[in-house]
Amino acid sequence: MHGEFLFFIQIFSSGIAVGCLYALIALGFVLILKATGILNFAQGEIIMLSAYICYFLMTAFHFPFLLAALSTCILAGFLGIVMERVVFRPMLGEPIFAVVMVTIGLSILLRSVTGIIFGQDNLIFPTPFSKETVKVAGIVLSQTQIWIIISIVALIILFFIFFKYSRLGLAMRGTADDQQVAWLMGISVKRIFALILGVSFITAAIAGIFLANLVMINLSLSMIAISAFPAIILGGLESIPGAIIGGLVIGVVENLAGGYLDQMIGGGVKDVTPFVVLFLMLMFKPYGLFGKEEIERV
Protein backbone atom coordinates (compact mmCIF):
# COMPACT_ATOMS: atom_id res chain seq x y z
CA MET A 1 0.00 0.00 0.00
CA HIS A 2 2.79 2.33 0.91
CA GLY A 3 4.55 1.33 -2.28
CA GLU A 4 1.49 2.23 -4.33
CA PHE A 5 1.20 5.62 -2.72
CA LEU A 6 4.89 6.27 -3.26
CA PHE A 7 4.52 5.33 -6.91
CA PHE A 8 1.67 7.81 -7.21
CA ILE A 9 3.61 10.64 -5.54
CA GLN A 10 6.64 9.87 -7.68
CA ILE A 11 4.67 10.13 -10.90
CA PHE A 12 2.91 13.20 -9.57
CA SER A 13 6.19 14.99 -8.91
CA SER A 14 7.65 14.17 -12.31
CA GLY A 15 4.36 15.41 -13.63
CA ILE A 16 4.83 18.72 -11.83
CA ALA A 17 8.27 19.11 -13.38
CA VAL A 18 6.96 18.49 -16.88
CA GLY A 19 3.91 20.53 -16.03
CA CYS A 20 6.07 23.55 -15.27
CA LEU A 21 7.51 23.21 -18.75
CA TYR A 22 4.04 22.98 -20.26
CA ALA A 23 3.01 25.98 -18.18
CA LEU A 24 5.84 28.05 -19.63
CA ILE A 25 4.98 27.00 -23.19
CA ALA A 26 1.31 27.73 -22.58
CA LEU A 27 2.29 31.12 -21.22
CA GLY A 28 4.08 31.87 -24.48
CA PHE A 29 0.99 30.94 -26.47
CA VAL A 30 -1.40 32.92 -24.32
CA LEU A 31 0.76 36.04 -24.45
CA ILE A 32 0.48 36.20 -28.22
CA LEU A 33 -3.14 35.11 -28.16
CA LYS A 34 -4.16 37.76 -25.70
CA ALA A 35 -2.50 40.54 -27.58
CA THR A 36 -3.11 39.69 -31.20
CA GLY A 37 -5.77 36.99 -31.18
CA ILE A 38 -3.48 34.74 -33.19
CA LEU A 39 -2.65 31.20 -32.13
CA ASN A 40 0.97 30.83 -33.09
CA PHE A 41 1.39 27.27 -34.32
CA ALA A 42 5.03 27.99 -34.94
CA GLN A 43 5.81 28.29 -31.20
CA GLY A 44 6.93 24.66 -31.08
CA GLU A 45 9.44 25.31 -33.79
CA ILE A 46 10.85 28.27 -31.87
CA ILE A 47 11.29 25.98 -28.88
CA MET A 48 13.09 23.44 -31.04
CA LEU A 49 15.17 26.08 -32.80
CA SER A 50 16.34 27.57 -29.49
CA ALA A 51 17.40 24.14 -28.28
CA TYR A 52 19.45 23.70 -31.44
CA ILE A 53 20.94 27.20 -31.26
CA CYS A 54 21.94 26.77 -27.63
CA TYR A 55 23.52 23.43 -28.46
CA PHE A 56 25.33 24.99 -31.39
CA LEU A 57 26.65 27.89 -29.30
CA MET A 58 27.89 25.53 -26.67
CA THR A 59 29.56 23.01 -28.93
CA ALA A 60 30.84 25.13 -31.81
CA PHE A 61 31.82 28.27 -29.95
CA HIS A 62 32.32 26.75 -26.52
CA PHE A 63 30.17 29.23 -24.70
CA PRO A 64 29.53 28.46 -21.06
CA PHE A 65 25.95 27.39 -20.40
CA LEU A 66 24.63 30.63 -18.92
CA LEU A 67 26.11 32.73 -21.69
CA ALA A 68 24.72 30.41 -24.36
CA ALA A 69 21.31 30.44 -22.72
CA LEU A 70 21.30 34.21 -22.48
CA SER A 71 22.39 34.65 -26.10
CA THR A 72 19.72 32.23 -27.25
CA CYS A 73 17.08 34.20 -25.39
CA ILE A 74 18.25 37.47 -26.92
CA LEU A 75 18.29 35.90 -30.37
CA ALA A 76 14.81 34.51 -29.84
CA GLY A 77 13.51 37.89 -28.75
CA PHE A 78 15.05 39.46 -31.81
CA LEU A 79 13.48 36.77 -34.00
CA GLY A 80 10.13 37.59 -32.46
CA ILE A 81 10.42 41.22 -33.41
CA VAL A 82 11.45 40.36 -36.95
CA MET A 83 8.64 37.81 -37.27
CA GLU A 84 6.10 40.37 -36.20
CA ARG A 85 7.20 42.76 -38.88
CA VAL A 86 7.43 40.21 -41.67
CA VAL A 87 4.64 37.75 -41.04
CA PHE A 88 2.14 38.88 -38.46
CA ARG A 89 1.64 42.50 -39.30
CA PRO A 90 0.52 41.95 -42.91
CA MET A 91 -1.95 39.35 -41.67
CA LEU A 92 -3.61 41.49 -39.04
CA GLY A 93 -7.00 42.02 -40.61
CA GLU A 94 -7.39 38.63 -42.22
CA PRO A 95 -9.87 35.94 -41.12
CA ILE A 96 -8.56 33.66 -38.45
CA PHE A 97 -8.34 30.67 -40.77
CA ALA A 98 -5.80 32.45 -42.94
CA VAL A 99 -3.66 33.50 -39.99
CA VAL A 100 -3.66 30.02 -38.47
CA MET A 101 -2.59 28.56 -41.78
CA VAL A 102 0.19 31.12 -42.11
CA THR A 103 1.58 30.13 -38.72
CA ILE A 104 1.29 26.47 -39.68
CA GLY A 105 3.15 27.20 -42.90
CA LEU A 106 5.77 29.05 -40.89
CA SER A 107 6.15 26.10 -38.56
CA ILE A 108 6.69 23.74 -41.50
CA LEU A 109 9.22 26.12 -43.02
CA LEU A 110 11.17 26.58 -39.79
CA ARG A 111 11.19 22.88 -39.08
CA SER A 112 12.55 21.88 -42.47
CA VAL A 113 15.11 24.70 -42.53
CA THR A 114 16.37 23.58 -39.11
CA GLY A 115 16.56 20.04 -40.46
CA ILE A 116 18.55 21.21 -43.45
CA ILE A 117 20.98 23.25 -41.39
CA PHE A 118 21.49 20.95 -38.43
CA GLY A 119 20.76 17.54 -39.91
CA GLN A 120 18.23 14.96 -38.88
CA ASP A 121 20.14 13.10 -36.18
CA ASN A 122 19.53 13.22 -32.48
CA LEU A 123 21.95 15.47 -30.66
CA ILE A 124 22.88 15.22 -27.01
CA PHE A 125 22.95 18.47 -25.19
CA PRO A 126 25.99 19.06 -22.95
CA THR A 127 23.93 19.56 -19.85
CA PRO A 128 25.39 21.62 -17.01
CA PHE A 129 23.25 19.87 -14.44
CA SER A 130 24.76 16.78 -12.90
CA LYS A 131 23.10 13.49 -13.49
CA GLU A 132 22.68 12.58 -9.87
CA THR A 133 19.29 12.54 -8.34
CA VAL A 134 18.02 14.14 -5.22
CA LYS A 135 15.86 12.21 -2.80
CA VAL A 136 13.25 14.35 -1.11
CA ALA A 137 11.02 12.48 1.33
CA GLY A 138 11.17 9.30 -0.65
CA ILE A 139 10.63 10.93 -4.04
CA VAL A 140 13.45 10.77 -6.52
CA LEU A 141 13.87 13.78 -8.74
CA SER A 142 16.75 14.50 -11.03
CA GLN A 143 18.64 17.73 -10.59
CA THR A 144 17.41 18.95 -13.93
CA GLN A 145 13.82 18.56 -12.85
CA ILE A 146 14.38 20.45 -9.64
CA TRP A 147 16.09 23.28 -11.47
CA ILE A 148 13.21 23.39 -13.92
CA ILE A 149 10.67 23.74 -11.15
CA ILE A 150 12.65 26.38 -9.31
CA SER A 151 13.52 28.45 -12.38
CA ILE A 152 10.07 28.38 -13.89
CA VAL A 153 8.41 29.34 -10.64
CA ALA A 154 10.87 32.22 -10.34
CA LEU A 155 10.21 33.23 -13.94
CA ILE A 156 6.47 33.22 -13.45
CA ILE A 157 6.80 35.42 -10.39
CA LEU A 158 9.03 37.73 -12.41
CA PHE A 159 6.50 37.88 -15.22
CA PHE A 160 3.77 38.61 -12.76
CA ILE A 161 5.68 41.52 -11.27
CA PHE A 162 6.59 42.78 -14.72
CA PHE A 163 3.04 42.76 -15.99
CA LYS A 164 1.57 44.26 -12.90
CA TYR A 165 3.97 46.99 -11.96
CA SER A 166 6.12 48.05 -14.88
CA ARG A 167 5.06 50.63 -17.44
CA LEU A 168 5.75 48.32 -20.34
CA GLY A 169 3.78 45.52 -18.73
CA LEU A 170 0.89 47.85 -18.18
CA ALA A 171 1.03 48.95 -21.80
CA MET A 172 0.99 45.32 -22.92
CA ARG A 173 -1.99 44.50 -20.77
CA GLY A 174 -3.82 47.52 -22.08
CA THR A 175 -3.13 46.59 -25.68
CA ALA A 176 -4.24 43.04 -25.04
CA ASP A 177 -7.46 44.25 -23.54
CA ASP A 178 -8.57 46.63 -26.24
CA GLN A 179 -6.34 47.59 -29.13
CA GLN A 180 -8.29 50.61 -30.25
CA VAL A 181 -8.47 52.26 -26.88
CA ALA A 182 -4.79 51.59 -26.26
CA TRP A 183 -3.97 53.23 -29.56
CA LEU A 184 -6.11 56.21 -28.70
CA MET A 185 -4.33 56.56 -25.40
CA GLY A 186 -1.02 56.96 -27.16
CA ILE A 187 0.45 53.48 -26.84
CA SER A 188 2.30 52.48 -29.95
CA VAL A 189 0.38 49.30 -30.68
CA LYS A 190 2.78 48.16 -33.39
CA ARG A 191 5.73 48.38 -31.05
CA ILE A 192 3.87 46.61 -28.27
CA PHE A 193 2.96 43.77 -30.61
CA ALA A 194 6.59 43.36 -31.58
CA LEU A 195 7.65 43.38 -27.95
CA ILE A 196 5.01 40.90 -26.92
CA LEU A 197 6.10 38.58 -29.67
CA GLY A 198 9.68 39.01 -28.54
CA VAL A 199 8.80 38.19 -24.92
CA SER A 200 6.76 35.20 -25.98
CA PHE A 201 9.59 33.88 -28.09
CA ILE A 202 11.94 34.36 -25.13
CA THR A 203 9.69 32.16 -23.01
CA ALA A 204 9.74 29.61 -25.81
CA ALA A 205 13.53 29.80 -25.88
CA ILE A 206 13.77 29.18 -22.13
CA ALA A 207 11.40 26.24 -22.46
CA GLY A 208 13.50 24.92 -25.32
CA ILE A 209 16.74 25.17 -23.37
CA PHE A 210 15.24 23.29 -20.43
CA LEU A 211 13.77 20.71 -22.75
CA ALA A 212 17.18 20.17 -24.29
CA ASN A 213 18.44 19.27 -20.85
CA LEU A 214 15.68 16.74 -20.34
CA VAL A 215 15.60 14.85 -23.64
CA MET A 216 17.71 14.45 -26.74
CA ILE A 217 17.59 17.29 -29.23
CA ASN A 218 15.62 16.24 -32.22
CA LEU A 219 13.35 17.78 -34.84
CA SER A 220 10.33 16.36 -33.08
CA LEU A 221 10.81 18.66 -30.08
CA SER A 222 8.35 20.99 -31.76
CA MET A 223 5.55 18.55 -31.04
CA ILE A 224 5.62 19.44 -27.38
CA ALA A 225 4.00 22.77 -28.12
CA ILE A 226 1.06 21.01 -29.70
CA SER A 227 0.78 18.91 -26.55
CA ALA A 228 0.50 22.19 -24.66
CA PHE A 229 -2.71 23.18 -26.48
CA PRO A 230 -4.85 21.38 -23.93
CA ALA A 231 -3.18 23.50 -21.27
CA ILE A 232 -4.29 26.69 -22.97
CA ILE A 233 -7.83 25.46 -23.47
CA LEU A 234 -8.01 24.17 -19.92
CA GLY A 235 -7.09 27.53 -18.56
CA GLY A 236 -9.21 29.48 -20.97
CA LEU A 237 -7.68 30.98 -24.07
CA GLU A 238 -7.03 34.43 -22.71
CA SER A 239 -6.05 33.90 -19.14
CA ILE A 240 -2.40 33.80 -18.07
CA PRO A 241 -2.89 32.20 -14.64
CA GLY A 242 -5.23 29.75 -16.33
CA ALA A 243 -2.52 28.77 -18.78
CA ILE A 244 -0.06 28.13 -15.96
CA ILE A 245 -2.48 26.03 -13.98
CA GLY A 246 -3.53 24.26 -17.16
CA GLY A 247 0.07 23.41 -17.92
CA LEU A 248 0.62 21.89 -14.48
CA VAL A 249 -2.58 19.88 -14.71
CA ILE A 250 -1.74 18.54 -18.14
CA GLY A 251 1.76 17.57 -17.03
CA VAL A 252 0.43 15.68 -14.04
CA VAL A 253 -2.43 14.01 -15.92
CA GLU A 254 -0.13 12.99 -18.73
CA ASN A 255 2.33 11.37 -16.36
CA LEU A 256 -0.39 9.67 -14.33
CA ALA A 257 -2.00 8.25 -17.44
CA GLY A 258 1.36 7.09 -18.71
CA GLY A 259 2.28 5.50 -15.42
CA TYR A 260 -0.94 3.64 -14.88
CA LEU A 261 -2.28 2.96 -18.35
CA ASP A 262 0.91 2.02 -20.15
CA GLN A 263 0.77 -1.47 -18.72
CA MET A 264 -2.78 -2.03 -19.87
CA ILE A 265 -2.84 -0.57 -23.33
CA GLY A 266 0.74 -0.70 -24.48
CA GLY A 267 3.16 2.14 -24.96
CA GLY A 268 2.66 5.69 -26.01
CA VAL A 269 -0.29 6.56 -23.81
CA LYS A 270 1.62 9.58 -22.54
CA ASP A 271 1.69 11.15 -25.98
CA VAL A 272 -1.96 10.77 -26.79
CA THR A 273 -3.38 11.73 -23.38
CA PRO A 274 -3.13 15.51 -23.84
CA PHE A 275 -5.15 15.24 -27.04
CA VAL A 276 -7.84 13.11 -25.47
CA VAL A 277 -8.04 15.65 -22.65
CA LEU A 278 -8.16 18.44 -25.25
CA PHE A 279 -11.03 16.81 -27.10
CA LEU A 280 -13.00 16.19 -23.91
CA MET A 281 -12.41 19.76 -22.73
CA LEU A 282 -13.62 21.12 -26.04
CA MET A 283 -16.75 19.03 -25.84
CA PHE A 284 -17.75 19.98 -22.35
CA LYS A 285 -16.09 23.20 -21.36
CA PRO A 286 -14.60 24.94 -24.38
CA TYR A 287 -13.91 28.13 -22.50
CA GLY A 288 -11.85 26.37 -19.89
CA LEU A 289 -11.74 27.03 -16.21
CA PHE A 290 -10.92 30.71 -16.31
CA GLY A 291 -11.86 31.82 -19.77
CA LYS A 292 -14.34 34.42 -20.82
CA GLU A 293 -17.29 33.11 -22.68
CA GLU A 294 -17.43 34.56 -26.16
CA ILE A 295 -20.77 36.08 -26.91
CA GLU A 296 -21.33 36.37 -30.60
CA ARG A 297 -23.26 39.39 -31.68
CA VAL A 298 -24.91 39.38 -35.06
Partner 1 sequence: MACLITLPIWSDPFIVYLIILSCIATIAALGLNILTGLTGQISLGHAAFFAIGAYCTAIASHRFDMPFWICLPASAFLSAFIGLLLGLPCLRLKGLYLAMATMSFGVVVEYVVITWDKVTYGVRGISVPTLSLFGYPLDSNNKIYYFLLAVVVVMVIGGTNLVRTRVGRAFVAIRDKDVAAEAIGIELTKYKVMAFTISSLYAGLAGGLYAYVMNYIHPEHFTFLLSIQYLAMIIVGGLGTILGSIIGAVFIVITPEIIKSLTQVLALLIPGMANKYNEEWNVAAFGLLIILFLMFEPKGLFGIWSRIKMCFKNWPFTY
272 makes contact with partner 1 (CB under 8 A): yes
User: How far, in Å, are 26, 63, 93 from residue 99 at the CA level?
Assistant: 19, 37, 9
* Residue 93 binding partner 1, by CB under 8 A: no
Among 7, 74, 94, 177, which residue sits at the site for partner 1 (rule: CB under 8 A)? 94
Closer by beta carbon to partner 1, 69 or else 79 = 79
Q: How far apart are CA 217 and CA 124, in angstroms?
A: 6
- In angstroms, give the least distance from the CB of 32 to partner 1: 13
Q: How far apart are CA 223 and CA 249, in angstroms?
A: 18
* Closer by beta carbon to partner 1, 112 or else 166: 112
Nearest to 221 by CA among 48, 21, 56: 48
How many Å apart are CA 77 and CA 248, to the nearest integer? 25
If the CB atoms of residues 181 and 265 are measured against partner 1, the closer one turns out to be 265
Query: What is the C-alpha separation between 16 and 145, in angstroms, rounded?
Result: 9
Least distance (Å) from partner 1 to the CB of residue 71? 25
Distances (CA, A) of 143 to 125, 139, 203: 15, 12, 21
Pick from 18, 48, 196, 233 the residue near partner 1 by CB under 8 A. Answer: 233
Which span (3-11, 87-95, 136-144, 157-165) binds partner 1, by CB under 8 A? 87-95
CA quadruple 80, 164, 249, 231: dihedral sign: negative
Helices 189-214 & 167-177 angle (0-180, nearest 10): 100
Residue 227: CB minimum distance to partner 1, A: 9
Q: Report whether 47 contacts 222 (CB < 8 A).
A: yes
Q: Which of residues 35-64 bind partner 1 (CB under 8 A)?
A: 39
The 8-class DSSP code of residue 220 comes to G
Nearest CB to partner 1, comparing residues 91 and 214: 91
Which residue, 112 or 188, has its beta carbon nearer to partner 1? 112
By residue count, the chain amounts to 298
98 binds partner 1 (CB under 8 A): yes
Q: Give the torsion through C-alpha atoms of 39, 295, 89, 71, to 10 deg.
A: -40
Q: What is the rounded CA–CA span in Å between residue 20 and residue 1?
A: 29
Within 104-163, the residues that bind partner 1 by CB under 8 A are: 104-113, 115-116
Question: Cβ closer to partner 1: 137 or 298?
Answer: 298
Kindly report the number of other CB atoms within 10 A of residue 168's CB atom: 14
Using the rule CB under 8 A, give the single segment among 1-9, 74-82, 132-140, 266-274 that binds partner 1: 266-274
Q: Which stretch binds partner 1 (CB under 8 A): 149-157, 177-185, 202-210, 224-232?
A: 224-232
Does 102 bind partner 1 (CB under 8 A)? Our answer is: yes
Q: How far is the CB of 97 from partner 1 (least distance, A)?
A: 6
Which residues contact partner 1 (rule: CB under 8 A)? 39, 87, 90-91, 94, 96-98, 100-102, 104-113, 115-116, 226, 229-230, 233, 237, 265-268, 271-272, 275-276, 278-279, 282-283, 286, 296, 298
